[in-house]
């Protein structure tokens, strides 16, 4: 019995040795590979850091001497952006008068922006209408709202037509043909604390809201 126990003990003792050797080799290889990987990553980060420092130093030097830098001009950077997908409330497609046009935008900058003015200017006779801004569920003049937060959407609304005497705060709108006579094309203009914005809205675009009234269309031949 004693001999059997000794043989089992010897077997277990000798069986662990190759396993321990393999484990030690695996740990050593893993450490070696990891150290090389991290050394390479650290070297890359140091190179990028040194390059960034060099660029900053160059920009500072140019700023001191008044030389232009490679940064994009402010006119290409916002801070506000405006989209071409305007919308119309009412109009011939709904069988109603034209009540309003909405301009959509966003503050794409990292900080708040004060929108000072916004208006539509008729391309027919130069008539201007001030835009109001949607704040929550209220439509307010620009001087009644605070700074526009970073990444906040903007909805500017121009109203058309006389006030509705039967509904304070409401308007009667304009008959589509009367609206088209003055607003078949116009220019959006706005100004914030850093720059001005301007883009035209053509008759081709307005024709999508005013079919058979604005834009090219088939007409009936008058009898001789």
- pLDDT tens, position by position, 10-55: 544 555 555 545 555 665 656 555 555 556 555 555 655 554 454 4
**For residues 108 and 151, what is the distance between their CA atoms, to the nearest angstrom?**
5
Q: What average pLDDT does this structure show over 129-133?
A: 98
pLDDT of residue 60: 39
Mean pLDDT along residues 134-156: 96
More confident residue, 215 or 180: 180
209-220 confidence digits (pLDDT tens): 999 898 887 878
| DSSP reduced 3-state for 74 | helix
> Strand 132-135 to strand 138-140: parallel, antiparallel, or no bridges (unpaired)?
antiparallel
> Would you place residue 84 in the very low, low, confident or very high pLDDT band (cuts 50, 70, 90)?
confident
State the SS3 of 3-40: HHHHHHHHHHHHHHHHHHHHHHHHHHHHHHHHHHHHHH
pLDDT at 72: 29
| Burial class for 153, CB neighbours closer than 10 Å (0-12, 13-18, 19+) | exposed
Contacting residues for 160 by C-beta, under 8 A, at least 6 apart: 98, 99, 100, 101, 129, 171, 173, 174, 179, 183
Q: Are 192 and 115 in contact (CB under 8 A)?
A: yes
Average pLDDT of the chain, as a whole number: 79
* Whole-angstrom distance, CA of residue 137 vs CA of residue 195: 28
Residue 89 sits at the vertex; the CA angle it makes with 218 and 191, to the nearest 5 degrees, is: 105
pLDDT band with cut points at 50, 70 and 90 for residue 78: confident
DSSP 3-state of 88:
strand
Query: Is residue 63 pLDDT above 50, yes or no?
Result: no
């Amino acid at each position: 019995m004693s001999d059997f126990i000794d043989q089992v003990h010897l077997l277990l003792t000798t069986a662990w040795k190759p396993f321990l050797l393999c484990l030690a080799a695996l740990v050593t290889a893993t450490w070696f590979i990891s150290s090389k990987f991290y050394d390479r990553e650290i070297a890359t980060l140091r190179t990028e850091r040194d390059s960034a420092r060099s660029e900053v130093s160059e920009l500072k030097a140019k700023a001191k001497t008044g030389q232009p830098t490679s940064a994009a001009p402010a006119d290409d950077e916002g801070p506000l952006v405006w989209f071409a997908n305007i919308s119309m409330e009412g109009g011939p497609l709904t069988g109603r008068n034209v009540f309003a046009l909405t301009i959509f935008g966003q503050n794409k900058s990292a900080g708040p922006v004060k929108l000072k003015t916004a208006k539509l200017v008729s391309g027919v006779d130069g008539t201007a209408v001030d835009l109001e801004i949607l704040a929550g569920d209220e439509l307010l003049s620009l001087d009644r709202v605070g700074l526009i937060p970073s990444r906040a959407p903007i909805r500017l609304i121009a109203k058309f037509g006389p006030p509705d005497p039967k509904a304070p705060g409401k308007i009667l709108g304009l008959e589509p043909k009367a609206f088209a006579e003055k607003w078949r094309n116009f220019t959006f203009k706005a100004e914030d604390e850093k720059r001005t914005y301007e883009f035209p809205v053509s008759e081709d675009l307005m024709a999508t809201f005013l079919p058979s009234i604005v834009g090219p269309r088939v007409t009936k031949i008058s009898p001789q």
